[in-house]
Amino acid sequence: MDKLRRIVLRGIGSGGALAAALAAGVLKPTQVLAAEWNKSAFEAKDLAGALRGLNASNAAESRDILFRAPDIAENGAVVPIDISSNIPNTTSIAVLVEKNPNALSAYFDFTSGALPDVSLRLKLAQTSMVKVVVKADGKFYTVQKEVKVTVGGCGG
Amino acid sequence: MSMQRREFLQLLAAAAAAGFALDSQELLASQGAEKFYDLPRFGNVSLFHFTDCHAQLLPTWYREPDANLGIGPASGHPPHLVGEHLLRAFAIRPGTAEAYAFTCLDFAAAARTYGQVGGFAHLATLLRLLRANRPGALLLDGGDTWQGSATALWSRGQDMVGACQLLGVDIMTGHWEFTLGHQRVREIVDHDFAGNIEFLARNIKTADFGDPVFTPYTLREIGGTRVAVIGQAFPYTPIANPRYLIPDWTFGIQEEEMQIQVDEARAKGAAVVVLLSHNGMDVDLKMAARVSGIDAILGGHTHDGVPAPTLVKNRGGQTLVINSGSHGKFLSVLDLDVRAGAIQGYRYKLLPVFARLLPADPAMAAYIEQVRAPYRARLEEPLAVSEGLLYRRGNFNGSWDQLILDALLEVKGADIAFSPGFRWGTTILPGQTITMEQLLEQTAISYPYTTLSEMSGATIKALLEDLADNLFNPDPYYQQGGDMVRVGGMTYTCAPGARIGSRIRDLRLAGRPMSADKIYKVAGWAPVAEGATGTPIWEVMADYLRDRKTIAPRRLNLPTLIGMEHNPGMV
């Protein structure tokens, strides 16, 4: 089973996976086509600016957002993270990397009924706080975790 | 007289007949050392554990650290106690065989009195004694088994695979094993180990889809009791060691899933859940506080030989955290009394393996002889005589590393030299001849290249900050478990209790402050980046030693420390 799934997924490739996600209604095509591109948030040079751009400066800490990220990145250029929101009526998930040149790294919109559950790979310039902002019923919630990027070597 | 005690006395007689130094045996006996091995059975479920033997098939010397600083809440608690501080905490009398085993105190003199430690043939004898009244006991190997010697490097771990099979290892996990490359690990696990040794690693997944690479845990029956053993490989292998050797695997601590697996094992009827861990003891302690349902963590990686378990309270009750030292020097014996589906009591002993008290097991001795035979001439080549004690372990430097730094500075014509903060590597006594085999006990890795690079003062400072944070970050989950990089040519001041960015201060070269913009020539070895090349460190060192013939005692280049005056992790 496992092997078959892997072959199928490899065959689709990342473009194909995105198309599949669109077909499944997970992503709204308008977002993908950048019709509602949030320019001020994505172009902000710091965390505060990006949060202002999202209108999320006052986001409340929430334990209902499950956020998995490594404590220490194995490779700062490809840091796998998983986010899943248990907050009812979640309509968007944003991911912000405090120390990156542009803090806002990703933004996902969800149509009603879509499971707010995403996995992605981040590029981290250096050790940084990674912040997740969830919008639900017009309110903003947040959770964060520090991910360390290190030169490595010399262990054990 | 118990069967075990009678057999032990017979063994002693055999040892005397074989010409072992009787005076040291009498000394050991007068201190009750033979009672270490006269361990009455307790309960009905027993586990044996050794870890981080670093391929030491023969008895050896291993000096414990004089600096193992605990920062923040870790300060003053095991494993961050050394020397007299450790003796006091565990009520061990100074000058005894146990003091020799657990500390660095008067090491050279104590080593001559009490002799070498470890050795698989001696460990095999000890296991035979203990197994006699512990039917069904499991032998767990915490890993770092296939690396650390010339023969392990040259046979790509095969000598250790055979030795562990002969020793009767039931279950293992790993770390340095992975530096032999993923294909070699797969080959051993899938073929050599099939049907005899289970290799467990719950925290290794494929990098693409996160599928498990190895079996996460196993359920075994010991005397009718179901025991779950979960394996945790070193979480930061792809960071501390070259990622290109295991390109398709991802590691990490993976705490959330640990709880799920513990609960799963309980649901399958496990009355006892044990974690065979290569986390390092600080990570074990944090994990024990946050995950519930693990009865005992049998840990390694940080090479801490801790005489008694640390009891950690958590939501589900408590977890015993045990770490069993390194280099074959110790064997952990954990006896559990399990009734009505739960542990009612336990006994624990970390047994030092004194080679002079435990005669070699003939079958294991013959096996070791056979694996060494093809390499004997290379192994025994004398390189130089060391006038001083050469050891590696310690937070900031060791005399073996100082020797490597001195050689690198001279041979490479560098301003500064770096040597990695490995915790493995055996000890040479004053007056002992350094052979090629002993040189390789400090250097035998699959990425041995020496390098010469140009670095700015700012880069050097950033590098030292980064490495110090891997050791002194107060949150164990951000620690990697090695020691600080050893530094030659330059001096610095270190404040371990400060935050990253402000621990490393006052960097100086030849007494003058270094400049952030200036470029310095830096020599090093063991690069983790792919594509690095250079003369292997053992070739550089062998030439240097042959040329010198006699090695004078080293003067250690140590940083000036701030705020550590009263830390019991230092003598």
Which of B319, B341, B370 corresponds to the end of one domain? B370
The beta strands (E) that lie in B389-525 are given as: 416-419, 433-435, 450-456, 486-488, 490-494, 504-509, 512-513, 519-525
Kindly state whether residue B83 falls inside one of the protein's structural domains: no
Domain residue limits at B157? 3-60+116-370
pLDDT tens for each residue of B231-249: 999 999 999 999 999 999 9
| Assigned CATH for A38-147 | 2.60.40.2470
Q: Which of B144, B240, B500 sits opposite A153 (nearest CB)?
A: B240
Write out the E strands in A63-116: 65-68, 79-85, 90-97, 104-109
A contacts of B500 (beta carbons < 8 Å): 127
Between vectors from CA B356 to CA B352 and to CA B361, what angle results, nearest 5°? 90
Interchain CB distance below 8 Å, A71 and B240: no
Mean pLDDT is lowest, of A34-48, B23-37, B315-329, B439-453, for B23-37
Secondary structure class of B530 (helix, strand, coil) = coil
Residue type at B194? A
Q: Which one has a higher pLDDT value, B165 or B3?
A: B165
pLDDT at A21: 44
- Taking CA atoms, what residue in B is nearest to A147? B478
pLDDT tops 80 at residue A8? no
Say if CB B252 and CB B278 are below 8 A apart: no
Is-contact B243 B251, C-beta < 8 A?
no
Q: What is the ipTM of this complex?
A: 0.82
Residue B347, pLDDT above cutoff 90? yes
- Summarised one tens digit per residue, pLDDT across range B152-206 is 999 999 999 999 999 999 999 999 999 999 999 999 999 999 999 999 999 999 9
Closest in B240, B466, B478 to A156, CB measured: B240
Task: Check whether residue B410 and residue B528 sit in a common domain.
Answer: yes
User: B409 and B306, same structural domain?
Assistant: no
CATH number for B400: 3.90.780.10
Beta-carbon contacts of residue B20 (< 8 Å; ≥ 6 apart)? B356, B359
What pTM was computed for the model? 0.91
Whether residue B552 is found in the same domain as residue B532: yes
* Identity of the residue numbered B527: P
- Compute the distance between CA of residue B12 and CA of residue B173 in angstroms, rounded to an integer: 34
- Whether the CB of A126 is below 8 Å from some CB of chain B: the reply is no
Contact in structure between A120 and A106 (CB atoms under 8 Å): yes
- Measured CA to CA, the distance from residue B306 to residue B65 in angstroms comes to 12
User: Quick one: how far is CA B172 from the chain centroid?
Assistant: 14
| Residue B416 sits in the same domain as residue B315 | no
Q: Is the pLDDT of residue B26 over 90?
A: no
Q: Per the domain annotation, does B94 fall within a domain?
A: no
CA distance A129 to chain B (A): 14
Looking at the domain assignment, is residue B74 inside a domain? no
Query: Are residue B501 and residue B548 in the same domain, yes or no?
Result: yes
Same domain (yes/no): B396, B310 = no
Question: Which pLDDT score is estimated for B113?
Answer: 94
pLDDT at B17 over 60: no
B204 assigned to some structural domain: yes
CA B538 to chain centre: 21
Contact B248, B204 (CB under 8 A): no
Convert the pLDDT of each residue in B84-96 to its tens digit: 999 999 999 999 9
Per-residue confidence (pLDDT) for residue A154, from 0 to 100? 58
Question: Position B330: which residue type?
Answer: F
- In this structure, are B224 and B332 located in the same domain? yes
- Give residue A10's pLDDT: 41
- How close, in Å, is residue B96 to chain A by CA atoms? 29
All residues of chain B having their beta carbon less than 8 Å from the beta carbon of residue A143 are none
d(CA B451, CA B166): 40
Residue A13 pLDDT class (50, 70, 90 cuts): very low
Pick the closest to residue A152 from B379, B551, B469 (CA basis). B469
Q: What does the pLDDT average to over B487-497?
A: 98
Assigned token pair, B386: 């060391």
pLDDT at residue A6 is higher than 50: no
Coil vs helix vs strand at B85: helix
B203 and B229 in a single domain? The answer is yes
Q: Which CA distances in Å does B24 have to B20, B27, B29, B64, B120? A: 9, 5, 8, 21, 21
Is residue B27 situated within a structural domain?
Answer: yes
Closest approach of A127 to chain B, Cα-based (Å):
10
A11 to chain B, any CB pair closer than 8 A? The answer is: no
The predicted pLDDT at position B280 comes to: 98
For A116, counting Cβ atoms within 10 Å of its Cβ (0-12 exposed, 13-18 middle, 19+ buried), the class is buried
Count how many domains chain B has. 2
Residues spanned by CATH 2.60.40.2470 within chain A? Answer: 38-147
Task: Report the residue of B239, B286, B473, B484 to disrupt the A interface, i.e. the one with the largest count of A CBs within 10 Å.
Answer: B239
The answer to whether the Cβ–Cβ distance between A71 and B500 falls below 8 Å is no
pLDDT above 90: residue B11? no
Enumerate the residues of chain B whose CB falls inside 8 A of the CB of residue A70. Answer: 252
What number of other Cβ atoms are within 10 A of residue B353's Cβ? Answer: 27
Interface of B with A (CB under 8 A): 144, 175-176, 208-209, 211, 234, 236, 238-241, 243, 250-253, 256, 301, 420-424, 463, 466-467, 469-470, 477-478, 480-483, 485, 500, 526-528
Q: How confident is the model at residue A125 (pLDDT cuts 50, 70, 90)?
A: confident
Q: What is the mean pLDDT of residues A63-79?
A: 94
Count of A–B CB contacts within 8 Å?
85
Q: Is the pLDDT of residue A82 over 90?
A: yes
Instruction: State whether the Cα torsion B539-B543-B549-B551 is positive or negative.
Output: negative
Give CA separation, B256 vs A69, B62, B252, B287, in Å: 11, 37, 11, 10
Do the Cβ atoms of A72 and B243 come within 8 Å?
A: no
Band (pLDDT 50/70/90 cuts) for residue B36 is: confident
B549-567: average pLDDT: 97
Do B349 and B396 fall within a single domain? no
Residue B84 lies in a domain: no
The answer to whether residues B457 and B366 belong to one domain is no
Nearest residue on chain B to A7, alpha-carbon basis: B209
A6 at B interface, C-beta within 8 A: yes
CATH, residue B223:
3.60.21.10
Provide the mean pLDDT of chain B: 94
Task: For residue B420, give how far its alpha carbon lies from the nearest alpha carbon of chain A (Å).
Answer: 4
Task: Give the closest-approach CA distance of B421 to chain A in angstroms.
Answer: 5
Q: Residue B35 carries which side chain, given as an amino acid letter? A: K
Going from the C-alpha of A142 to that of each of A61, B123, B406, the distances in angstroms are: 5, 54, 52
Counting every residue written for chain A, the total comes to 156
B388 half-sphere exposure, CB direction, 13 A CA radius:
14
Residues B424 and B553 in one domain: yes
Chain A residues whose CB is inside 8 A of the B253 CB are: 71
Q: Is residue B546 part of a domain?
A: yes
Q: Does residue B357 sit in the same domain as residue B399?
A: no
| Cross-chain residue pair A156–B482, CB shorter than 8 Å | yes
Assign A151 a pLDDT band (cuts: 50, 70, 90). confident
Question: Measured between alpha carbons, how far is residue B451 from residues A56, A145, B23, B524 in Å?
Answer: 49, 36, 48, 5
Mean per-residue pLDDT, B71-97: 97
Boundary of a domain, candidates B370, B397, B427? B370
Q: What is the pLDDT of residue A19?
A: 40
pLDDT higher than threshold 90 for residue B517: yes
How does residue A9 score in pLDDT terms, banded at 50, 70 and 90?
very low
Q: Give me the residue label for tokens 């032998």.
A: B139
Residues B437-454, mean pLDDT to the nearest whole number: 97
The predicted structure's pLDDT at residue A121: 95
pLDDT band per the 50, 70, 90 thresholds, residue A37: confident
B520 vs B10, residue with greater confidence: B520
Partner residue opposite A154 with nearest CB, options B238, B240, B243: B240
Domain end: B329, B351, B370, which one? B370
Radius of gyration in angstroms for the set of CA atoms belonging to chain B, rounded to a whole number: 23
Residues B560 and B508: their CA atoms lie apart, in Å, by: 12
Distant-in-sequence, close-in-space partners of B267: CB < 8 Å, separation ≥ 6: none
